[in-house]
Amino acid sequence: MDLSSLSLSDLRRLQGRVESELRRRTDTTRRALLKKMQKMAADEGLSLDDLLEAAPAAEAKAEAPKRVRRAAGTAEKKPAPVIKYRHPEDPSKGWSGRGRKPQWAMDWVAQGKSLDELAV
């Protein structure tokens, strides 16, 4: 199928049909798989609910990310960011100009003032 020859409205119509077919097939596959799982559980004398009740504890252990330990002192130390802007009324508040702009700096700019006026 050559998609480049289709108009935009034809492509959108096709997209809708594809999404509908994907939903239908996903639902059909899910139901068939559920029936298979119920039969397998019943063959072992269990219900699917019995299996699902025990699953969260096992999943939590299986999916827990493993932490990698580094030897002490191997982490690269970054210098503290240099303060480039100071709060106009509270000099204990500063901002390096990196990352999210603090609310006091956003308020200052919203008042029509330049951030350069706060430069250290």
The predicted-structure confidence for 54-85, as pLDDT tens digits, reads as follows: 776 655 566 666 777 777 666 677 787 888 99
pTM of the model: 0.40
The predicted-structure confidence for 38-52, as pLDDT tens digits, reads as follows: 999 899 888 888 877
Place of tokens 């480039």: 84
Distances (CA, A) of 88 to 3, 24, 38: 59, 61, 68
What size, in residues, is the chain? 120
The predicted-structure confidence for 76-111, as pLDDT tens digits, reads as follows: 777 878 889 999 888 889 989 888 899 999 998 999
pLDDT in the model for residue 29: 96
